[in-house]
Amino acid sequence: MAPEFATNEEIVRQARRRLNQEAWDYLTGASESETSMRRNRAGFDRLAFLPRTLVDVSNVDTSTTLMGHKLNAPVILAPMGTLQTLDREGGAASTKAAAEFGTLHVVSSVTQPSLEDISAATDAPKIFQLYIRGGWAWVEEMLGRINAAGYKGLCITVDTAVQSRRERVMMNRLARGGGSDRNPLYPATVTWELLDKIKETSGLPLMVKGIATAADASLAVEHGVDVVWVSNHGGRQLDHNRGTMDMLPEIVGVVGGRAEVIMDGGVQRGSDMAKALALGAKAVAIGKLQGWGLGADGAAGVQRVLEILAEELFVAMSLLGVTSVDQLTPDYVCPADIMTTPHEMSSWVNMPGDRLL
């Protein structure tokens, strides 16, 4: 039996060894110049900690709740399409990992197997993410299937009115992952009014993923959204967007506790989770890390990714002098210089290159 992964960098390296070039490019790439993706990471690196000492941290609790569900750590699995290209179990593997660890999987509507098969993989609660790929009759049919399969919430991704130009994938001449039945007309017609109708019809708690401004966050709250999801699609949609950590404070301020706020984009470590929570997020979501875990060792690899993040968060909280995640506030972070040149002490400096030698 192989030794257990000690770090998430080891998981990334193993994924690189196992995945073919096309799958690697799909997973690691972003749109056009990939500036939005790089800004996501820079947003974390521009923050430093302000630790407090001589605090009793003999009992540190990393757990939280989201949408009424307990999470063993404030991290969930983001919806990712085409997971079957990373592991043969596809979305079922991620769902199993989330259940074993104790968190939520937001299941993509453009991954395999079917939404029913993924739901049946575990009894644990899970959320379904829906891309609008048809008219109202199609939406109603999908909502019926989602409810019948026992999903506990619904996520609508709102930053995909059109498909972006993801050049790493384009150069491999791959299909774009949305499925041959996706009519490009329908995503472009999604409005707040349609979201209202979906929420009322589904009867499920609603996440809206892809909020990038205070103005849209305010509208989301006015429309009764339960979770405002700060995201730029991992840098995979609009390029030259802000990093999500740069968006987070103003969105948290506008929401004002009337909905839960989560974020994704650039999360690599438990210390990143601590920074996001300090700025007001209830939890973070992981996409690329989830994919690397799948590529490295299927469901077990994703579970180990989550365990390592939780271990890192425990260490960060203990050394910051906090014993529960709700104690993390802006008082624990401050702006700092950013290291722009990778070096031997960079996060994941040994991450393998994009192309095989």
Q: Report the length, in residues, of the chain.
A: 357
Residues 277/328, Cβ–Cβ less than 8 Å:
yes
Phi first, then psi, for residue 293 (nearest 5°) are -60, -45
CA angle 338, 307, 102 (to 5 degrees): 120
Task: Give, for 264, the enclosing helix (H) or strand (E).
Answer: strand 260-264
Q: Which residues of 176-189 are buried (b: 16+ CB within 10 A; e: fewer)?
A: bbbeeebeeebbee
Strand partners, 70: 65
Q: Catalytic: which of 69, 105, 223, 233?
A: 233
Q: 16: left (phi > 0), else alpha (psi -120 to 50), else beta?
A: alpha
Is 105 in the active site?
Answer: no
Report which of 154, 153, 236, 139 is spatially closest to residue 186, judged by C-alpha positions. Answer: 139
SS3 content of the chain, % helix, strand, coil (to 5): 45, 15, 45
Positive/negative CA dihedral, 68, 136, 159, 130: positive
Residues with a catalytic annotation lie at 233
